[in-house]
Amino acid sequence: MPPKKRSRDESQEAKSSEQDSAIYELIKSKERSGVSKTDIKASLNLPETQIVKALTSLCAKGLVREVKGARRGLKHYVAAGFEPSEEITGGSWFTDGAIDTEFVSTVSSIVADQVRKLGVATAEDLHETFQRVNLFKSGVSLQQVQQVLTVLKMDGRIEEVRSTGTGISASVMRGKVCYRCCPAREASAAASVPCLVCPRIRDCTPDGIISPRNCVYYQKWLNF
C-alpha cells in the first residue's frame, strides 16, 4: 500500500515546526546574549512574518522570552534557563529598557549617607551594607556601588582618599582607597562671611587701605 500523502495543511505545519525548532536552537545557542529578529533573519534567511509567528509560539510555550534592550529599546529573545546579559539589559540600573531613576537615586542617597555615618568607607564596606540589609530584590553589585561613588565624587559630595591607617581611617588598611564626605560649608554661606561681624566694615572700600583685597579673614573665608 503506497504511503499516504500529507495534506497541504500538514506539510505547512511540519515546515512551521521545523522553522520554530531552527529559531529556538539559534536562540538557545546564544545563551545569555540572545538574538534579535534582525539576527534571526540574517542567520536563517526566513521571512519576517514566519519569524514573528515562530517567536510568538515559542514565547507562548515558555521556551523563550522577550527582553527589551537598553539600546534604543531593541527587543532580544533569550531561551528559558538563561538570564539576559547586562549588555542587553543595561544592568540593574535599567527596567524594561529604561533607566530606573528612582532606584539610582535611592542607592546614591544610601551610599552618601553611609559614607557620612562611617566617616570613611571603602567600596567593599558599602557593598557589604547592601548585602546585609537586602533592600532591593535585584541586589546592588560592587560595580554599581563603585559607579555611584564615581558620580558622587564628580558632584563634589564625597572625595577619594588613601587610608592612613590611623584616626578615623584606622579600620581601613593603610594605603587603601576609601571615601569621605567633602568638607561642607555652613548651611547659610552668608552667615559665615567675616564682613558681617567686622568692626571696620564702615571703613572698608574696594581700593582703600582697608579692603577685601588685603583682608586676611576674607581671604581665609574664600579658601574655606
Q: Which class is 100-181 in CATH?
A: mainly alpha
8-86 shares its CATH topology with 100-181: yes
Give the pLDDT confidence score for residue 7 in this predicted structure. 53
Give the pLDDT confidence score for residue 63 in this predicted structure. 94
Give the pLDDT confidence score for residue 69 in this predicted structure. 74
Give the pLDDT confidence score for residue 72 in this predicted structure. 60
Q: Please, what is the average pLDDT of the chain?
A: 77
C-alpha distances out from residue 138 to 10, 130, 135, 146, 184, Å: 46, 11, 9, 17, 33
Neighbours of 91 (CB within 10 A): 16
Domain 8-86 carries which CATH code?
A: 1.10.10.10
- Residue 68 phi/psi, 5-degree rounding, is -80, 120
Q: So where are the chain's domains?
A: 8-86, 100-181, 189-222
Q: Which of 77, 69, 138 has its CA nearest to residue 97?
A: 69
User: Contacts by 174-178 with C-beta closer than 8 Å and gap 24+?
Assistant: 176/122, 177/122, 177/123, 178/120, 178/121, 178/122, 178/125
Q: Let me know: does 123 contact 146? Beta carbons within 8 Å.
A: yes
C-alpha atoms less than 13 angstroms from C-alpha of 111 in its C-beta half-sphere: 29
Work out the pLDDT band at 13, boundaries 50, 70, 90. low
% of residues, the chain, pLDDT over 70: 69
- Asked whether residue 219 carries a pLDDT value surpassing 60, the answer given is no
> Tell me: the pLDDT tens digits for 112-140?
999 998 889 999 999 998 888 777 777 78
Give the pLDDT confidence score for residue 60 in this predicted structure. 94
3-state helix, strand, coil in the chain (%, to 5): 50, 10, 35
> Tell me: the pLDDT tens digits for 172-181?
778 888 899 9
- Residue 125 corresponds to which cell in the numbers above? 564596606
Q: What is the mean pLDDT of residues 64-72?
A: 78
